[in-house]
């Protein structure tokens, strides 16, 4: 799995807290042993079984109880972003090893006909998916 987040909902105070887990963090995966958190998904059997393995790993290592989980693949991610009318992101001028900016990479690989630029942009689902996958910059 690429991203794991724990969302805590405090209905009494109407607050939402999001905790992100680093995918390459080594943790004790129940029934498996020490491995990267991201690997709990595939080692657990993928899809629902894999998601349950991530849940049990986070619960065991961080002493928290997780009531529910949601699996969002990149296709659903695109649909959600588009349904929301896009997502506003500020693209930096930092470059990868080939001198390409985030905007260059999104325009090259996202498949979206609308082009983005350095600075503030409203990204479509396709553009946001590619932005979320950029790891070579930063």
CB neighbourhood size of 12 (10 A): 6
- Cα R_g (the chain), whole angstroms: 17
Mean pLDDT of 10-21: 95
CB neighbourhood size of 92 (10 A): 13
pLDDT, residue 118, reads: 97
pLDDT, residue 62, reads: 97
The overall pTM is greater than 0.75: yes
pLDDT, residue 56, reads: 98
Tell me the backbone φ, ψ of residue 5, rounded to 5 degrees: -130, 140
Is the pLDDT assigned to residue 138 strictly greater than 80?
A: no
Superfamily of domain 74-133: LCP protein (3.40.630.190)
Q: Where are the alpha helices (DSSP H) in 1-119?
A: 39-43, 47-62, 74-83, 102-109
Domain span(s) for CATH 3.40.630.190 in the chain:
74-133
- Count of residues in the chain: 138
Q: How would you classify the pairing of strands 33-36 and 87-91?
A: unpaired
Residue 119: which residues within 8 A CB-CB, separation 6 or more? 90, 91
């Amino acid at each position: 799995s690429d991203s794991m987040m724990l969302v805590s909902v405090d209905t009494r105070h109407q607050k939402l807290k999001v905790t992100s887990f680093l995918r390459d963090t080594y943790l004790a995966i129940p029934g498996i042993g020490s491995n990267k958190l991201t690997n709990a998904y595939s080692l657990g059997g993928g899809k629902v079984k894999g998601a349950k393995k991530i849940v049990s790993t986070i619960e065991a290592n961080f002493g928290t109880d997780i009531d529910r989980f949601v699996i969002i693949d990149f296709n659903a991610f695109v649909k959600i972003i588009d349904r929301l009318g896009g997502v506003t992101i500020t693209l930096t001028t930092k470059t990868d090893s080939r001198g390409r900016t985030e905007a260059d990479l999104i325009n090259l690989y996202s498949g979206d006909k609308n082009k983005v630029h350095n600075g503030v942009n409203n990204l479509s689902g396709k553009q946001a998916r590619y932005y979320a996958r950029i790891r070579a910059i930063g």
